[in-house]
Amino acid sequence: QNIQYFKSEITKNHLNSIFIKSDSAIQCCVISGNDLVKQIAVKLQEHGFDVNPILSPTVPISEERLRFCLHSFNSEGDISKVLQLLTTFVNI
């Protein structure tokens, strides 16, 4: 249920272009550049969200990303809030 809600919120917040399509509990948002993806991860963490940056060389250069791991204890409010915050930190 949370996966489907997360995906609907991606669309609602016009973030489809930066998310990798996935039907799993792990959702990834591509944000190019180690420094930028780390900065955005820290901002989300400061708001209480455990979102992790995946940096190159773990992934190819320019394919750095944020990893969102969805759990059954995540509320719809939490999901909505983290994606709304993300929209304020990325320039699409």
Q: What is the pLDDT of residue 65?
A: 98
Helix-, strand-, coil-residue percentages of the chain, each rounded to 5: 45, 15, 40
Residue reference for tokens 């780390």: 38
Cis ω on the peptide bond leading into residue 60 (within 30° of 0)?
no
Cβ neighbours for 62, distance < 8 A, ≥ 6 positions apart: 32, 33, 56
d(CA 31, CA 66): 7
Residue range 15-71, pLDDT digits in tens: 999 999 999 999 999 999 999 999 999 999 999 999 999 999 999 999 999 999 999
* 92 confidence band (pLDDT: 50, 70, 90): low
